[in-house]
Structure 1
Amino acid sequence: MTDDVLAGVGPRLRALRRARAISLAALAAETGLTTSTLSRLETGKLRPTLEQLLPLARAHGVPLDDLVAAPPTGDPRIHLKPVRRSGLTVVPLTRRPGGVQAYKVIYPPAGRAYPAELRTHDGYEWFYVLNGRIRFVLGDHEYELGQGEAAEFDTRIPHWLGSAGTQPAELLTLFGPQGERAHLTPHPPEAS
């Protein structure tokens, strides 16, 4: 730890102890440190060690980072940019080009009695219904899938997907443009 970071530890320790309205003696009993050591830490006359800071952080109920005023870490969230296309909201979940791509797709509430046009293209698709109901037309067959249901199909077969209800429908979709399939590996049977 650098000296400028450590210089601020004493005032933070004193403020935490005073906020809890406890004496140096009570804190010493809680941490196993002497009152003299605690006093010197709070006044900055003693440079704190990790062995001293850990019980103090525990006693005050704060992360160690708060005692030393560690700089904040970067935001770990991935900020996904939704794309609106043909009434759908598509959120790409993969960032690498090629191979199987993952998307979250939100279909608006149903508004048409039948799909305007069945489409075909190279590839293979797997989808899982997160929320709502999906109307899925595949060739001459029509299906309605609800939350927790999934389907997998060759996209060269004429197909169409849309919401089947008055609420939007959300899907998690895996798409392989060259016909890659989602391979599910079953667990081996348990030995008897």
Structure 2
Amino acid sequence: MHATTDTQLKPELTKLGRRLRALRNERGWTLEELARRTGISEAYLSRLESGDRQPSLAVLLNLAQTYGLTLPLLFEPALEAASQEHKATAGVIIRAKDAATKEGNGLFYTSLAGSLPTANLHPIRVKVPAERKQEQLYQHDGEEWLYVLSGKVVLALADEEYLLHPGDAAHFDASTPHRLLAKGERDAEILLVACATPRSLLKSYL
């Protein structure tokens, strides 16, 4: 990531770090406890809370799952407060103007999830820039389904790579190391739905 991008993102990373620290403190967890629950190192979590590390989408999904929140609620405490007032709401309409786009490890993602506190699905629109070069593979609990909207995407799953065209879809266990790259000179866009491990099942391992 370029220095200019670091500077541009610093205010957002600082805000996110404060939010993550507040969520952890609200639950009375130490960094050690959060590391145990997420499988993320204490050092990495500490840098996230200090605003010194840009999290990947996989890390954000992991944290949202651990805190029992959707991605929008992970970022915005005001949304969390609003969701508590509407617990009985069966569904929420997400207007295009209200869907904020975030950047993480070279991906631009727009969460399309509502503010339901018990939601287990995380629908996300993801733009994969053509210039993105990423060798690291990511993994987390749950499963992912994706659908290519435009451009061409190379999906790496462990040691295999698959070229996906518009209209193609993929469904896989998110604990399998995976990575997304655009193929060619054009950006790609996908619709991704991540499903966290059900909380009742997850708790049996904690």
The normalised TM-score by structure 2 is: 0.46
Q: Which structure's CA Rg is the greater one?
A: 1
